[in-house]
Amino acid sequence: MSWRQEAKISIHLSQKGRQGYSLPKCDVPRTMPTKDARETRIELPEVSELDAVRHYTNLSYSNFSIDAGMYPLGSCTMKYNPRINEVTAANPDFNIHPLCPDHLAQGALDLIYRIENSLAEISGFARISMQPGAGAQGEFAGIRMIRACLEARGELEQRKKILIPESAHGTNPATAAMCGFEVVPVKAGSDGILEVEEIDRLSRGGDIAALMITNPNTVGLFETNIKAITDLLHERGALVYCDGANLNAVLGITRPGDWGVDVMHFNLHKTFTTPHGGGGPGCGAVGVSKTLVPYLPVPKIERNLNKGEAAFVREYDSPESVGKVKAYFGHFLMMVRAYTYIRELGPEGIKKVGEDAVLLANYIRVRLKGAYQIAYDKPCMHEVIFNDKKQNANGIKTMDIAKRIIDLGFHPPTVYFPLIVPGALMIEPTETESFENVDALCDAFLQIAREAAEVGGKEKYFDGSPKTTPITRVDETLAVRNLVLTWKDL
């Protein structure tokens, strides 16, 4: 039975008494707890092992995955996770208990210490904490540290505002608000870049705690005024947070610490090829300048060279720390994967990641420039943004293009983001894709542009697309308002 024929869910395959396992006869008395017993029988399917295997295999065929095709998702950086990472993470020597004492966890602590130092060298920061369990948590820890620093200076009551450009990532305002700050939106210039004059105007009152900036920003451009902006804000007593989600574009080329950034989170899944999606586990390492080192989460990994003692220890004695932000020390096997990637590439390989990511995005920009309206017509970084202006003249919108690309074998790009570009199509190839794959993606987009220009093209190609998937075009608004939460509602 192929995935196109599979329409049943597991409960519909159930036959009373059928099972997919065999256990030896129970040789101890069966006891049934009464206090916590269910009042009704749990409705689990009764199926054979073969039916269960086929069911879940068929479900997997219905999913798009990085192993099956390209994810040109801008800002999300959905790139291939090299299998050597998985081989290393699966090594049983790394399978240690989180409560393992320091003297029995020297290999793990050594690896954490090494990846901290590797990331510090790559980014230009004084110290790194690997503890946060995701990018958003690293972002939260970063603003917590800024808050702690201002409190230590006695300036917290005075500095209640955080500047957030409209070209920053969408989580930034939420994080600022969660940490007790007022969000002040900042408009970019007509070229998509943050202007020093605008930051100057907004920061004159002495009430600015920090700037939260994304660089490269969400329109795929490098903030060329970044050093002048950080210098200005530091002169006025404010700090600078950088969202590191787009670090992929500048690896080995330039370092956020050298721009004057005080704190930045890393997305190991976006930049250093650890698994992405599904809600985690992730790793949102956070790097800080010397100013914020005292406020790093605990425990910190310290090296102890005293004879007869463990070389690496977890240090909890840090009075100004913001405390723990994750149970134990975060998601250790994500660190193993990222460290494997860094060591596999080395300094030259890391630099080539940034160069190739930028080169491929600009190749897409040039190839599609005539067929699609480009948001900012100049060299981009790791992602390029188009919109649907040309296709909209024939009634074809961004969502139609995104759904149609599925029929041609590709996952859609990011759509309708950033919000400052109406009808946005944000495309990021990542450095892990080959030139041939990127060329094929461009061919598909060019085909869609030709289809959109045909008389009757909308009805012929776009209405009802995607047409080759188990579930075709759905009314997404209706689906959200009428959720099917149990199999009984199907």
**SS3 (DSSP) at 214:** strand
DSSP code of 332?
H
Give the integer Cα–Cα distance in Å for 239 and 162.
Answer: 10
pLDDT for 39 equals 84
Tokens of 257: 């610490």
Contact at 8 Å (CB) between 136 and 325? no
| Euclidean distance between CA atoms 236 and 18, whole angstroms | 73
Q: How many Å apart are CA 95 and CA 137, to the nearest integer? A: 24
Q: Give me the pLDDT at residue 489, please.
A: 67
Sign of CA pseudo-dihedral 66, 69, 72, 73: negative
Q: Which amino acid is at 14?
A: S
Q: pTM of the prediction? A: 0.90
- Domains in the chain, please, with CATH? 1-63 (no CATH), 83-342 (3.40.640.10), 354-481 (3.90.1150.10)
Helix axes 106-123, 332-368, angle to 10 degrees: 30
User: Per residue of the chain (490 residues), what is the pLDDT tens digit?
Assistant: 343 444 566 777 888 889 888 889 889 988 877 888 888 888 888 889 998 888 888 888 888 888 889 999 988 888 899 999 999 999 998 988 989 999 999 999 999 999 999 999 999 999 999 999 999 999 999 999 999 999 999 999 999 999 999 988 888 999 999 999 999 999 999 999 999 999 999 999 999 999 999 999 999 999 999 999 999 999 999 999 999 999 999 999 999 999 999 999 999 999 999 988 655 578 999 999 999 999 999 999 999 887 667 799 999 999 999 999 998 888 999 999 999 999 999 999 999 999 999 999 999 999 999 999 999 999 999 999 999 999 999 999 999 999 999 999 999 999 999 989 999 999 999 999 999 999 999 999 999 999 999 999 999 999 999 998 888 888 888 988 988 887 776 6
The pLDDT value given to residue 1: 35
For 151, list phi and psi in degrees, rounded to 5: -65, -40
Nearest to 464 by CA among 475, 449, 448: 475
* H or E element at residue 208: strand 208-214
pLDDT value of residue 2: 41
Q: Going along 173-207, which residue ranges are E strands?
A: 182-186
CA–CA separation, 470 vs 19, rounded Å? Answer: 28
